[in-house]
């Protein structure tokens, strides 16, 4: 595990210590890196960073490395790990809808590594946010979830989002009209694509049960039973975020959930899906820390195992 050890020692911010954490999950070995405050008076809240796939624990533009170290510098220990079959972790790669065991094992590992922590927050991007809502909301150790650009895609929601956001925006772009005037636009292909998306978008209103898929409903149920708080961070320049809002606005099981007082929503109008500019990621970090300070207060001690709280 020399690469892991090197990662945990390189470029660490002042006041932050990092170490490798290995733990078992259903007969396989998973690996992560724990960023911790060096001072003794660490926060009573620890953060589990769940990586959306397929990515390993560093994330796009090293976003999870930077996030974990910023949290640790502010007093919140943070564990980022490779899910089964990804990065340094063993086993076959699983879909996020089958990641319950990974999240339970990671929460156990975080609790064991941070005995001073009383509560835990689960932070997830994309399908990791969806998994967090599905599989961690009823864990007594979890005081809150940060869901960033959650994944709620179905064929119908993708089509509806394209019709509403892509085609309308395309008409306002100069290169569209330039191609049109120069004869460089393939009208047949574009028209067939639009017609197909319109048909798929209508399918959702006529057959919501088939279009919704079970995992979106499980996300809604998870949010409904969450005893803590939710921070919802949405990028303005991201079809995944727009799809999520499109789905939540039309699905009966999501009615009123995002208006609940336990939900805080932060919109970053210019940001893309993975916050590829440093100032966008800084805004995400700032929003997370502000929410941790304002909303996630002291609670009961963090049990070492979900099965034995």
Beta-carbon contacts of residue 37 (< 8 Å; ≥ 6 apart): 15, 16, 17, 43, 72, 73, 74, 75, 76, 77
Average the pLDDT over 260-264 and give the result. 97
What's the pTM? 0.80
User: So what's the pLDDT on residue 168?
Assistant: 54
- For 77-133, what is each residue's pLDDT tens digit? 999 999 999 999 999 998 999 999 999 999 999 999 999 899 999 999 999 999 999
User: So what's the pLDDT on residue 207?
Assistant: 37
pLDDT: which is higher, 258 or 52: 258
- Does position 241 have pLDDT exceeding 70, yes or no? yes
- For 189-219, what is each residue's pLDDT tens digit? 544 444 444 454 444 433 333 333 479 999 9
Q: What is the DSSP string of 95-147?
A: -GGG-HHHHHHHHHHHHHH-TT--EEEEEEETHHHHHHHHHTTT-TTEEEEEE
User: So what's the pLDDT on residue 197?
Assistant: 41
Of 20-29, 188-197, 216-225, give the lowest mean pLDDT range: 188-197
The band of 295, judged by pLDDT with boundaries at 50, 70 and 90, is confident
């Amino acid at each position: 595990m020399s690469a892991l050890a090197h990662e945990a020692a390189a470029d660490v911010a002042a006041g932050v210590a990092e170490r490798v954490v290995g733990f078992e999950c259903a007969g396989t070995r998973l690996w992560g890196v724990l960023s911790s405050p060096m001072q003794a008076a660490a926060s009573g809240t620890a953060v589990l960073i769940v990586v959306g796939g397929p990515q390993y624990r560093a994330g796009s533009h090293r976003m999870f490395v930077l996030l974990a170290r910023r949290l640790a510098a502010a007093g919140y220990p943070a564990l980022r790990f490779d899910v089964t079959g990804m990065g340094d972790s063993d086993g076959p790669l699983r879909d996020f809808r089958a990641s319950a065991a990974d999240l339970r094992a990671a929460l156990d590992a975080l609790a064991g590594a941070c005995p001073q922590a009383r509560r835990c927050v689960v932070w997830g991007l994309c399908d990791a946010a969806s998994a967090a809502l599905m599989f961690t909301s009823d864990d007594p150790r979890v005081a809150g979830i940060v869901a960033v650009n959650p994944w709620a895609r179905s064929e119908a929601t993708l089509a509806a989002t394209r019709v509403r956001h892509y085609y309308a925006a395309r008409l306002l772009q100069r290169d569209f009209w330039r191609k049109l005037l120069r004869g460089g636009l393939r009208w047949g292909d574009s028209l067939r694509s639009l017609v197909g998306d319109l048909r798929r978008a209508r399918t959702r209103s006529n057959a919501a049960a088939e279009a919704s898929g079970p995992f979106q409903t499980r996300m809604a149920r998870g949010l409904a039973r969450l005893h803590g708080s939710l921070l919802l961070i949405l990028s303005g320049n991201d079809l995944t975020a727009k799809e999520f809002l499109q789905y939540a606005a039309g699905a009966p099981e999501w009615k009123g959930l995002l208006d609940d007082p336990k939900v805080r929503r932060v919109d970053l109008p210019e940001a893309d899906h993975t916050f590829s500019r440093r100032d966008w990621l800084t805004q995400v970090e700032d929003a997370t820390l502000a929410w941790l300070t304002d909303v996630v207060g002291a609670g009961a001690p963090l049990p070492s195992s979900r099965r034995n709280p």
